Amino acid sequence: MSKIETSNSSTVRGAASPHVLPALPYAENALDPVITAKTMSFHYGKHHKGYVDNLNKLIAGTEYADLSLEKIITSTVGQPEKTAIFNNAAQTWNHTFYWNSMRAKGGGEPPAALKQKIEASFASVDACKKELASAAVSQFGSGWAWLILEGGKLKVVKTANADAPLKSIKPLLAIDVWEHAYYLDYQNRRADYVNAVLDKLINWEFALQNAS
């Protein structure tokens, strides 16, 4: 798993406490005007919180109650009877990763070490951004676009719904393309939202941290 804060801590007896909604890494209005405070209020305060609350209800009294968020995801993926638990655990993790994938006054030139990796895999930063934008815009329905590290090479992948590229792969950045991520600000103009995130908010430093 990549380097984000987990939402699960331990009690003095060693059992896991209920999962909590991680704090945003910035104020709700910090990404304005690309992503407005109104969108953040609903997306973080309603959707992300809802996944955390639902997860706690679903795992209460089960074998998953004392597991870390990451362990719940890897233990339930691909199991139809555990779909609800997986969806809420994965969406809790995905959203925390997405918030960290952005920052105020982001975008611009990646750090030199990351730029070298990008150019080795995509030829240029612009080519990398274009591939990320294409994946995000072409994802049919709800899902995610990811910059990942696999086998020493950077790649772009997309996933549907709550799925994330976690097995034997290191996610570096994520772009949320569920409609609730952008509809209040951009309506059906997903491409405008994606390009604005890549140009003005993307957190290349976070990607470098995950790539190391």
Please measure the distance between the N-terminal and C-terminal CA atoms of the chain and give it in whole angstroms.
13
Does the structure show a pLDDT above 50 at 14?
no
Taking a C-beta distance cutoff of 8 angstroms, is the pair 94, 176 a contact? yes
Distant-in-sequence, close-in-space partners of 103: CB < 8 Å, separation ≥ 6: 25, 26, 30, 201, 203, 205, 206
SS3 43: helix
Does the structure show a pLDDT above 90 at 86?
yes
Taking alpha carbons only, the member of 97, 60, 89, 57 closest to residue 73 is 89
Q: What is the pLDDT of residue 165?
A: 86
Tokens at 23, concatenated: 């704090």
Confidence of residue 212 (pLDDT cuts 50, 70, 90): confident
> Cα separation of 78 and 20, whole Å?
25
Taking alpha carbons only, the member of 27, 9, 29, 11 closest to residue 19 is 9
> Cα separation of 198 and 62, whole Å?
40
Mind listing the pLDDT tens digit for each residue in 150-193?
988 999 999 999 998 887 789 999 999 999 999 999 999 999 99
The CATH code for residues 112-211 is 3.55.40.20
- As a whole number, mean pLDDT of residues 68-92 equals 95
Q: What is the pLDDT of residue 12?
A: 28
- As a whole number, mean pLDDT of residues 87-113 equals 97
> Cα separation of 68 and 17, whole Å?
9
Looking at the chain, the domain(s) classified CATH 1.10.287.990 span 37-100
- As a whole number, mean pLDDT of residues 88-110 equals 97
The answer, yes or no, to whether the previous bond of 22 is cis (omega within 30 of 0) is no
Fold for 37-100, please state it.
Helix Hairpins (1.10.287)
Taking a C-beta distance cutoff of 8 angstroms, is the pair 94, 85 a contact? no
Looking at the chain, the domain(s) classified CATH 3.55.40.20 span 112-211
